[in-house]
């Protein structure tokens, strides 16, 4: 059985039959519908109970209001000019007429194939079932949906009167609505779901509603969408398994030191500052994917900051606290553990933004312990920030701050949902369909386990980040105030390795490139293939993707990319050579605990706290 990849039409398939959509055992089907309703009642109870107790307060109104305001501005542009409105309506009507004409032609020609009015985008997996092409009803639904969603997206693209932020938000909201209303998401309009429901007499829906109730209960009243089978995974057992010790613990961070794997190591230890928006073990998922283990095997004495999963006690911890009690505490711990003052540092995502701000502050304060800095997909200038910027304007930030003020933190599920919404077509709706309609358990996947292991956001810390970076762009403009000082990235004169990812939607390669010019010293800009995670976590043994190197990161980004040298495989060895070129001095390997008491085995206790 074969089908064309773009249209969803089948070649050499048997014609669609009505029998596969007819209930064979009405009594059993009716019984399962009753069982499904029972499970749906449990899901409703799991949602309602924490609200009745006052444990959950909904803030649904704020995003809905923002969406309505955004669509109102979009509508105003198109309706303010009758000619413009007529042209838009004509385009939609023309698309519908083409769909209708195709349907009539197929019926009159006994199912003969016709060209679709619009084809799914390359890589769209929603319409792969042959029935989307050979069944006139489902084919009509598919084409009508694609015509409508494509038309709506074009309304945003062609709305010249919108400011860039409103256009960005409008495109985001249109995409969310389009993904939500896809006929692939509903039983009666998805041929595969329809057939499975009939074939199992509705048992798939019983299982699905049971899973829905479990996921709402797991989210304590909010849906905690399961994206994988999490049961096979355990932190410290088959995740985050690189051997090491906890050598320091503050109110906001544990400092981990890893056991050496070589007889000699670089004189300069390596301190990794991961994001606190999620947990550090993305860099230590398993031995094959672990950047931490690989760095140890190259001869680095690796220290990692494992951030606290904050609660109400940490609501007032500011960025300065994260610098003093996290980064600088890590440097102090390294000096006690190894006797070394000079350190190489890595910052990932927002951890890199914090590292950049800390380096600027430390330059003013005379703290010169960090001798080179590497940034993984890090933004220091937010002019061209990624898709997360759709959530940031004064009204939305104020709403988040109001929500955080109640407990001193933002629930981890809120951030997880925001990240999932950026790719809702991949990270939300396929799992809604698979879990709650097909009633199938998702497969085990370590990356998705990590993705679901969300962290809370401390109120003061998160508010400072949203306002100073996304909203006001103070860091690159020399307007960020820390410890009573106005800091400047120009004061950072140490060598910088600035890694971007080509397909990153959170820290776009363009944004990272433009941020390079604000540093005061030498910057090596490297662009990895793939996205925010896979572009970074790309071990050499996998022989995947590419990376690009070129001249200094100045001028036009597209011109830099066009002239850049393309290298197959991982950028990790390139970074290793860059580090060695700065200082290749070696010393005997250092074991954790030789000069100070350890506090337990890596990965420590902070990383195990779940929300």
Cα angle value 35/37/42 (rounded, 5°): 95
- CA-to-CA distance for 510 and 385, rounded, in angstroms? 9
State the DSSP string of 530-585: S-TTTTTS--GGG--SEEEE-S-S-S-HHHHHHHSEEEES-SHHHHHHHHHHH---
**Cα–Cα distance, 223 to 212 (Å, whole number):** 8
DSSP 317: -
Tell me whether residue 273 is one of the annotated catalytic residues: no
CA pseudo-torsion sign 553, 554, 558, 561: negative
Three-state DSSP string of 412-477? HHHHHHHHHHHCHHHHCHHHHHHHHHCCCCCCCCHHHHHHHCCCCEEHHHHHHHHHHHHHCCCCCC
Which residues neighbour 230 within 8 Å (Cβ) at sequence distance 6 or greater?
Answer: 444, 449, 452
Alpha carbon distance, N-terminus to C-terminus of the chain: 46
Contact 539, 576 (CB under 8 A): no
Q: How far apart are CA 372 and CA 83, in angstroms?
A: 59
Radius of gyration (C-alpha) of the chain in whole angstroms: 27
Q: Which of 155, 271, 331, 349 is catalytic?
A: 349
What residues does 497 pair with on adjacent strands? Answer: 374, 524
Instruction: In whole angstroms, give the CA distance from residue 322 to residue 461.
Output: 8
DSSP3 helix / strand / coil % (the chain, rounded to 5): 50, 10, 40
**d(Cα 241, Cα 546) in Å, to the nearest integer?**
28
Q: What is the DSSP letter of 574?
A: H
Residues involved in catalysis: 349
């Amino acid at each position: 059985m074969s089908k064309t990849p773009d249209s969803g039409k089948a070649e050499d398939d048997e014609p669609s039959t009505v029998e596969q959509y007819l209930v064979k055992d009405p009594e059993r089907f009716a019984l399962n519908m009753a069982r499904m309703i029972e499970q749906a009642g449990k899901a409703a109870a799991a949602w309602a109970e924490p609200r009745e107790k006052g444990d959950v307060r909904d803030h649904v109104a704020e995003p809905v209001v923002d969406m309505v305001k955004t669509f109102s501005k979009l509508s105003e542009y198109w309706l303010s000019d009758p000619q413009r409105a007529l042209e838009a309506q004509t385009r939609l009507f023309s698309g519908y007429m083409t769909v209708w004409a195709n349907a009539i032609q197929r019926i009159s020609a006994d199912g003969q194939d016709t060209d679709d009015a619009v084809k799914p985008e390359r890589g769209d997996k929603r319409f792969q079932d042959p029935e989307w092409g050979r069944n006139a009803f489902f084919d009509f639904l598919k084409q009508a949906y694609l015509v409508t969603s494509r038309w709506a997206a074009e309304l945003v693209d062609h709305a010249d009167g919108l400011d860039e932020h409103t256009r960005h938000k409008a495109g985001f909201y249109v995409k969310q609505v389009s993904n939500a209303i896809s006929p692939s998401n509903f039983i009666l309009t998805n041929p595969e779901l329809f057939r499975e429901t009939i074939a199992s007499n509705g048992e798939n829906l019983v299982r699905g509603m049971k899973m829905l109730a479990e996921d709402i209960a797991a989210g304590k009243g909010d849906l905690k969408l399961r994206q994988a089978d999490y049961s096979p995974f355990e932190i410290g057992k088959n995740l985050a398994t690189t051997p090491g010790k906890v050598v320091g613990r503050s109110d906001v961070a544990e400092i981990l030191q890893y056991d050496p794997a070589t007889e000699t190591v670089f004189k300069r230890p390596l301190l990794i500052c991961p994001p606190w928006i999620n947990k550090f073990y993305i860099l230590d998922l398993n031995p094959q994917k672990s950047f931490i283990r690989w760095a140890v095997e190259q001869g680095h004495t690796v220290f990692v900051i494992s951030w606290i999963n904050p609660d109400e006690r940490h609501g007032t911890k500011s960025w300065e606290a994260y610098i003093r009690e996290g980064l600088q505490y890590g440097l102090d711990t390294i000096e006690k553990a190894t006797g070394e003052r000079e350190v190489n540092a890595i910052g990932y995502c927002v951890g890199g933004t914090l590292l950049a701000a800390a380096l600027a502050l430390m330059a003013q304060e005379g703290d010169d312990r960090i001798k080179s800095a590497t940034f993984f997909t890090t933004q220091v200038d937010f002019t061209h920030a990624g898709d997360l910027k759709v959530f940031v304007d004064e009204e939305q930030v104020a709403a988040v701050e109001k929500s955080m003020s109640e407990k001193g933190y933002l629930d981890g599920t809120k951030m997880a949902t925001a990240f999932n919404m950026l790719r809702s077509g991949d990270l939300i709706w396929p799992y809604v369909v698979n879990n709650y309609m097909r009633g199938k358990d998702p497969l085990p996947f370590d990356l998705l386990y990590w993705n679901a292991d969300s962290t809370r956001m401390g109120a003061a810390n998160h508010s400072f980040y949203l306002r100073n970076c996304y909203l006001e762009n103070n860091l690159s403009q020399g307007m960020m105030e820390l410890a009573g000082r106005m800091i400047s990235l120009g004061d950072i004169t140490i060598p910088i390795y600035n890694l971007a990812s080509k397909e990153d939607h959170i820290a776009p390669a363009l944004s990272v490139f433009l941020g390079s010019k604000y540093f005061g010293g030498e910057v090596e800009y490297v662009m990895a293939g793939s996205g925010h995670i896979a572009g970074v976590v790309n071990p050499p043994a996998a022989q995947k993707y590419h990376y690009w190197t070129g001249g200094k990161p100045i001028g036009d980004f597209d011109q830099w990319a066009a002239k850049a040298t393309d290298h197959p495989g991982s950028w990790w060895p390139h970074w290793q050579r860059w580090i060695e070129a700065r200082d290749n001095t070696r010393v005997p390997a250092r074991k954790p605990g030789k000069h100070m008491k350890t506090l337990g085995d890596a990965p420590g206790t902070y990383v195990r706290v779940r929300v």
